[in-house]
A and B are shown apart, each in its own frame.
Chain A
Amino acid sequence: MSTFRVRPARAQDCPDILRLIKELAAYGNALDAVKLTIIDLLKDGFGDHPLYYCLIAEVPDEAELTGLGIGPEILRKLSQIAITNGCSCMNFLVVIWNQTSTEYYTRRGALDLSSQEGWHLFWFNKKELLQMANEK
């Protein structure tokens, strides 16, 4: 039986992190959207002032990876970190066209605030930011 370990990421994990980011993006048909490089991940996550934190699920070999409870363990560790750091809740974004993801989270008690309260995610790209910054 394979065992796994969820631990904080280290600088050496960055190539694997980028690989997994791209796999996730490809799953959502958005592989071209990933502009980040390994250097970006290193600089942003392992410099003097980290811009992000990352947990990694490490497995000893390439055994069967689903059904081991890795997802719930990552969520459990994230929840512990949230509580330890005085956070009251966790917010995140889900593409609801993906029913599997949606059910995964709602089964664990997550609420869809967009459906419940009407929140929409709006975004400005660099082009619009430049236009706003250059406005008189």
Chain B
Amino acid sequence: MAVAVQIREAKEADCGEIMKMIRELAEFEKLSDQVKISEEVLKTDGFGENPFYHCLVAEIPPEHRDPLGSTLAGYGLYYFTYSTWTGRNVYLEDIYVMPKYQGQGIGSKIIKKVAEAALERGCSQLRLAVLDNNRSAIEFYKARGAKDLTVAEGWHFFHFDNEAVREMVRK
């Protein structure tokens, strides 16, 4: 039975549940040991003077919530980046719907709101990263017209970890 979730902006009080879902998503991606942040960090970075990210959550209406369960079925976390070719862009860092709420169009509702937010701020592009073995995610994005730039143009994600960054300061 489809649950009529409401997509709204996250509040500071949501950070505990968002952190739990971040960990679930990382576990699904088999990259759990890469999650270094805590609920506190999420609060400071998202709800301080200078938010580093924006987050939308899918709120479960009270009548459909498990008594000891979650109030949120999913989230979409994004931030603004800058392209020297086209200006302000949106980068969708995470989009996740809890397994028991999947298949009801909640992911579609979340990405629709992200697209609206992007257009509202004059952004011309939405970018994101997908794991090449995540078939359902790849289909989800391709069905909405996304293009795989890694395959099409050879773009790869590169990363200097903390040790490499410190090493470059020392040199």
Contacts and interface: CB of A to CB of B under 8 A. Distances in A.
Contacts of A79: 160, 165-166, 168-169
Nearest to B120: A133
A111 B156 CA distance: 10
Interface string B99-133: 00000000010011001101100011111111111
A35 B145 CA distance: 22
B80 interface: yes
Given A121-B148, A122-B147, A129-B118, A35 B158 contact: no
A80 to B, nearest CB: 5
Nearest to A111: B159
Interface stretch (B4-12, B18-26, B54-62, B81-89): B81-89
A11 interface: no
A5 B83 CA distance: 25
A122 B159 contact: no
Contacts of B156: 93-96, 102, 112-115, 121
Contacts of A1: none
Contact of B128 (A108, A109, A122): A122
Contacts of A59: none
A132 interface: yes
Nearest to A127: B145
A124 B133 CA distance: 20
A32 B112 CA distance: 29
Given A76-B169, A109-B160, A113-B156, A133 B116 contact: yes
A7 to B, nearest CB: 17
Nearest to B165: A79
B136 interface: no
A93 B133 contact: no
A93 B157 contact: yes
B163 interface: yes
9 contacts: A21-B85, A51-B88, A79-B160, A115-B156, A120-B151, A121-B127, A121-B150, A122-B147, A128-B145
Given A78-B168, A110-B159, A120-B148, 12 more contacts: A80-B169, A83-B169, A91-B159, A95-B153, A108-B164, A119-B130, A122-B149, A123-B147, A124-B146, A128-B146, A131-B145, A135-B108
